[in-house]
Each structure stands twice: as structure tokens, then as C-alpha cells.
Structure 1
């Protein structure tokens, strides 16, 4: 098993702050005097702010990158303020699985579109920092999911070949990115119904009770 690497998307896999993200987007729309469309969050979930803002806030693609970045950064500041106000917990089973990986010497990495400041804050809040060997964020890539760049960089960060990595994802674009990276993908049904995660190799309701042995068995990977 020493050749294996586990890569975790962040929101919807390690933590669930969908409500806080949706609230922060709503605050941004409100500040700009606009109504947030009902389907906005569902249609944009898993994408980088640099993909979302040009499409939904009236910027031409390739124009005014400074303004796009400024809006995106402000949205994330609103999100972090909400987290500090409300607190947060890791999703069921996450800590147990990460601790098992650490005990087995299998490295774990984050591969997420989330900005690094958000992940750093939540790692500190939940005491997860020491359980991850690598962290690749939206700040480290130029292409958002479904492009596989973030997962390929995450594999590099833990010195593992993509074909030996297992990705945990809840978003459709993330599942596609994991498959395009040549990795096995475990769908986690925190955002979408389990029966819709058909592009993943296996799908679970959450990681509660998941062990390295059970995951490898379900994926048909020899120990």
C-alpha cells in the first residue's frame, strides 16, 4: 500500500460549509444591489471564483482581472467571517480515515478549488493540519475543475503517480477532473444524490465507517 496516495476535495468531503458559502455569495450579490438567482449556487459549486465571477457578475472573459480578483477575495472574507461566527465540524468519518492513513504511512493531500486562506483557517479550527502531507488549493492552479490540474498537482505534492491515487469528491466537475487525471474516484453524496454520482468508481453517502481496507476492496485495488 506504500505506493498509494489519497486526495481529498475539501468542501463537501472534509467539511460541509455549503450553507456558509451560499450565504457569503448572497451577501456579495446584496452588496452589489443584485438578486442572487435561485440556481446560482448549484450551477457554480466546485468552480473557482475566477470562473464564476466573469459569468455571473457581468465581466467579459479576460477583462479586468484585478476587479474579478478583488470581488472574489471579498466574497471569501465574508465566508471566513461567517465561519468564525458559526464554527464548523469535520464531516463524519473524515478524521478517523485520515488518522488511519497516517498510521499506515499513506500520504493524504487536499486537492481543492478553495482558496488557501480558507483551508488554513479551517485546518486550524479543526486541528487537521498534521493529518495532510500536501495541500493544493485554488491559489495554486490556473485551470479549475473539471480540468485535472489540481489533482495532478496534489499527486505531485505527495510524490505519488496519478494512477495510484484515490480521489474523494462530491461535485460533478470534481469527479470528472479526478477521472481525467487517471485516478480512482470515490463519490461522496453530500451535495448530490448518491444515485447521480454515476461517473465515480464507487459512491458513498459519506465517509462514516470508511476504512482503507473497505475502500480498496470496493475499488478492486490489491493491497
Structure 2
């Protein structure tokens, strides 16, 4: 999948407005692990079974534009606008079951995730996961990645009044962590998730795991990184620490 971009959206590359940093919120799918290829394969297998697109499997471009990052109700309304809720729910349940069957053998963490985890733990920062994924999927992914004891809260879009791209899940995450939006950072990989974080008043770092960079910037990402080893990320975090230390010394 190409991630080339000719977008006029610009990276701001600074997190200075959140100094000192107190909390970090993560999306799960595509942000902690590169799960999109598994979801894509499931959709390519299932949709022809339901006669979608005349039985022709979807492309990666279609998946990114119409499915990636969306919660199941929104996804079903796009794919099958004439279906009733019960039929759409059964399709979504089957899709998630197939994902969970494939996931344990194929899920791997985004590069550098455990380096960032150690950095967060060493500084005693609050941390939460905020996702549109169903609870069984979320628990499987977090457990498989060895992060069950890392996150202090896990917020699901389906358990909020509105899921991403609305800000409700991120606002709930802040509330549960008792964290200030002025001192909290978000990591996201989809335009839908970035829009949710921005709408909640949070700076969002976009990860170009699968989605085109221009869509992430247009959604409002502060800047983009390839993975958690990206020097751009560590430069920004170092600048945050320096700013916080200077402020403390001058107090």
C-alpha cells in the first residue's frame, strides 16, 4: 500500500504546549500492533461470501478509505446500507471471530513499542488505551503484546455515547486517568482516531503503519512517525523533558 503524499498539510513537530507531560493515550489496532493486514484479509474473504461488489474482493485502497479505523456500526452502514441492525451485527460478530482466530499467529508489536513502554514506566506517566475495537479483540491484542499490566485504563468506543471520530472515548480516557488534556499526548494510526483526539483537545502523533500520511496530517496530526524508534519522536520527547526541567529549575 503506497504511503506517498503530496498533501499541503504541514507537520508542527512540537509538543511544547503539553509540558510537563503527565499521561499518554494509545489507540490499539495499527498503533500498538500492525493488525490491519489481518482485518484486510478477513474482509477480502468474507465480503464476496455476502455478494459485496459482485463477489470481487476489495482492494487495499478501498479498505483504507472505507473501513480502516471505523467502528463496526459505521463500517456496516457503509458496506451494507440496506441491512437491518441484526443482520449487520451478525456480520460484524463473524468478522471479529475470524480476526481473533488469525490474530495470535500474526500479531507483532509496532517497532520500538517496548522502548517507549520503558520510557513511560520509568517516568511514572499515566497511560491508557482508547479504541474502537470490540472488547474481546482489545483484550486479545493487549494480552498478546504483554501489555495487560501496562495500561491503567482501557476505553472502548462502543461503551461511550459516541465512538471515534467523536471525542467521547478520549474524553472518557482523560476522566478515568484523572489526566489534564493540557498535559496528555495521543498516539494514533487512523484519520478517524486522530480526529477524535484532536476534537478532545489533544495533540496527536500519527503513526504511518498503513494509512497514507496525507490523510493523517489532514485529520490534524501534530506530526508523523514511522514507528516508535523514529528519531523525530525521541527528539520531541527530549525537548519536552528539557522544557519541563527548565521550568522546574526556574520555579
2:53 aligned with 1:57: no
The residue that corresponds to 1:42 in the other structure is 64
Q: State whether residues 12 and 191 of structure 1, in contact with CA within 8 Å, keep that contact through their aligned partners in structure 2.
A: yes
- The higher relative CO (CA closer than 8 Å, separation ≥ 6) is in 2
77, 88, 105: which one pairs with 2:97?
Answer: 77
* TM-score normalised by length of structure 1: 0.87
Label 1:102 to 1:220 Cα distance change in 2 as closer, same or farther (>3 A).
Answer: closer
1:149-194 Cα offsets, whole Å, 9 max, x none, are 1111121221112232111111112112111100011111112344
Cα offset, 1:209, TM superposition? 5.2
Cα offset, 1:218, TM superposition? 5.8
2:41 aligned with 1:23: yes
* Distance in 2 of aligned mates of 1:211 and 1:6: 17
* Distance in 1 of aligned mates of 2:85 and 2:222: 37
Q: State whether residues 189 and 206 of structure 2, in contact with CA within 8 Å, keep that contact through their aligned partners in structure 1.
A: yes
Aligned partner of residue 109 in structure 1, secondary structure: strand
The residue that corresponds to 1:11 in the other structure is 29
Label 1:211 to 1:159 Cα distance change in 2 as closer, same or farther (>3 A).
Answer: farther
* Distance in 1 of aligned mates of 2:242 and 2:35: 32
* Distance in 1 of aligned mates of 2:234 and 2:161: 35
Q: State whether residues 2 and 106 of structure 1, in contact with CA within 8 Å, keep that contact through their aligned partners in structure 2.
A: no
Label 1:31 to 1:193 Cα distance change in 2 as closer, same or farther (>3 A).
Answer: closer
- What residue ranges of structure 1 are gaps of 5+ in the alignment? none
111, 115, 129: which one pairs with 2:130?
Answer: 111
The residue that corresponds to 1:182 in the other structure is 201
Q: State whether residues 204 and 222 of structure 2, in contact with CA within 8 Å, keep that contact through their aligned partners in structure 1.
A: yes
Aligned partner of residue 39 in structure 2, secondary structure: helix
Higher radius of gyration, 1 or 2: 2
Aligned partner of residue 129 in structure 2, secondary structure: strand
| More displaced 10-residue stretch of structure 1: 137-146 or 180-189 | 137-146
Q: State whether residues 187 and 201 of structure 1, in contact with CA within 8 Å, keep that contact through their aligned partners in structure 2.
A: yes
The residue that corresponds to 1:166 in the other structure is 185
RMSD between superposed Cα atoms in Å: 2.5
* Number of residue pairs matched by the alignment: 219
- What residue ranges of structure 2 are gaps of 5+ in the alignment? 1-18, 245-251
Aligned partner of residue 70 in structure 2, secondary structure: coil
* Distance in 2 of aligned mates of 1:73 and 1:6: 30
Cα offset, 1:111, TM superposition? 0.9
Label 1:213 to 1:55 Cα distance change in 2 as closer, same or farther (>3 A).
Answer: closer
Q: State whether residues 21 and 185 of structure 2, in contact with CA within 8 Å, keep that contact through their aligned partners in structure 1.
A: no
